[in-house]
A and B are shown apart, each in its own frame.
Chain A
Amino acid sequence: MRDRKRTWASMSVAACLGLLPLPMLAHHGTNISYDRTTTVTIKGVVTEFWYRNPHPALFINVPDAEGKATRWTIEIAPTPYTLALRGWSKRRSDEALKPGTAVSVKIYAARAGTPVGLLQGITNEAGVAIFGEDPGGPTP
């Protein structure tokens, strides 16, 4: 019974919030700033992470072949609200992305050529998908 209730509760929230896989949407409409035809993977080390409105953001240093680092900005389409509904509380997210964490990040890169991207997926060195397999989704 308890499981049934839980399933219903989760389904209700998930269905109403559209948490099933959906195209990435960002309430700022920044989708058009990114090249959404190609996914790029970058590897680097977390310098900062914002779990806040209007959208969370991740900042990572990405070294080039000579070891010179470029600071990349990664926009995260879900909001704290929708991340929390997926079980990614602030504490859990902060812990998973604390400064110094090595990550591999899949993004749509900015069409302007600036080191900015829209998040498609993050994995850490252990191969764990942070925020799950699909960090995209609807925004309020």
Chain B
Amino acid sequence: MRHRRLCQSIVGVASLLAFASVTVAQGTRPPGMISNWGYQAEGPEPELPPPSPREPFDARDFSGVWLTDHAGTNGFRSMTEEKAIPPRTARAQEAYLGRKTARPHDGKKAVEPAFGNDPIMMCNPKGLLRLFMYTNPVEFIHTARGDRMLMTFQSQGSTRSIWMDGRALPVNPEPRWNGYSVGRWEGDTLVVDTVGFDDRAWLDQYGNVYSSDMRLEERWRRVDRDTLEAVYRIDDPASYTRPWVSTTKVWKRQAYELREEFCAPMDELEFNELVRDPAAGVVRQ
């Protein structure tokens, strides 16, 4: 009898411990969570479960870290291939030609970065849409109340809010680097409308332009557990004679934690002075 009770106790404690260890394991590192702090500290390689496109997923839950490889634009990191850019207005063409960059592009000669005027070379905000035009991860966060989605970009540590509470877009908004965004669900497609842009930001690294009156529409869809697809459309009659619709951008889920990647002027300016500029023969004494 005593022996049986002892056995029951042992089994009970063991079960409890097993349950606790599973709970702890799940609590500390659920699938997709990573184990080396976003490669910023020592630890084992991150793990993501093997791909299984048929695995059930919540099509309206974008939580997680995602990355796009910009396939489909023939190496041109922008909305579309270069040849698919709509005709620019005279104002936009003038602004575009005034943007000096190291990327030869559409009638513009490349200049060495030391002689360019790309605003991000002084840590100015990339702004939306340019934040989309890099191979840099972004994290979607849904607020607990469901009234807002956040997109945090690793690049520059920039965050945008997408208001999901049914509010209207602002009228005559003041310019913002990332604009002002409201979103809604059309079926399982997240539709995000954005207005109120700061037109000093470049659309991409080639110096493409937009005006502060641009309207941006994004359509995001989670097509399987590990894949988001997005299409961006800009309507900006002040800059383009017709809307510019992107190719379908594919974002893949990552077993990754965003690392801190602010653009610190003290680093950027020293890099420019001691590396970028001397490479072009510009040496300050």
Contacts and interface: CB of A to CB of B under 8 A. Distances in A.
Contacts of A18: 69, 135
Interface string B129-149: 000001110000000000000
B271 A54 contact: yes
Interface in B269-284: 271, 274-276, 278-281, 283
Interface string A49-91: 0101111010000000000000001010000110011000101
A5 B279 contact: no
Nearest to B103: A29
B102 A54 contact: no
A115 B279 CA distance: 8
A31 interface: yes
Interface in B251-277: 252, 254-256, 259, 261-264, 267-268, 271, 274-276
Contact of B50 (A8, A30, A73, A80): A8
A33 interface: yes
* From A15, A29, A50, A112, residue with most partner B Cβ within 10 Å: A29
A70 to B, nearest CB: 13
How would you classify the secondary structure of chain A's contact residues: helix, strand, loop or mixed?
mixed
Contacts of A33: 112-114, 276, 279-280
Interface in A1-31: 4-6, 8-10, 12-13, 15-18, 27-31
B134 A140 contact: yes
B113 A30 contact: yes
Interface residues of A, number: 44
B107 interface: no
A73 B281 CA distance: 13
B13 interface: no
Given A29-B103, A73-B275, A112-B280, A54 B268 contact: yes
Nearest to A85: B39
B113 A29 contact: yes
Interface residues of B, number: 50
Given A12-B255, A57-B275, A140-B135, A29 B205 contact: yes
Contacts of B134: 140
A32 to B, nearest CB: 5
Interface in B32-49: 39-42, 45-49
A113 interface: yes
Interface in B147-174: 154-155
Given A28-B113, A28-B121, A53 B268 contact: yes
Nearest to A28: B113
Contacts of B69: 15-18
B50 A29 contact: no
B116 to A, nearest CB: 7
22 contacts: A8-B50, A16-B69, A28-B121, A28-B271, A29-B118, A30-B276, A53-B261, A53-B264, A54-B268, A55-B275, A57-B274, A81-B154, A85-B39, A91-B42, A112-B279, A112-B280, A114-B278, A116-B275, A116-B278, A140-B135, A140-B136, A140-B261
Given A9-B46, A33-B112, A112-B281, 7 more contacts: A15-B69, A28-B276, A29-B103, A53-B267, A57-B271, A57-B274, A85-B39
What are the 8 closest A-B residue pairs judged by CB atoms, nearest first?
A29-B102, A112-B281, A140-B136, A33-B279, A84-B39, A116-B279, A16-B67, A110-B279
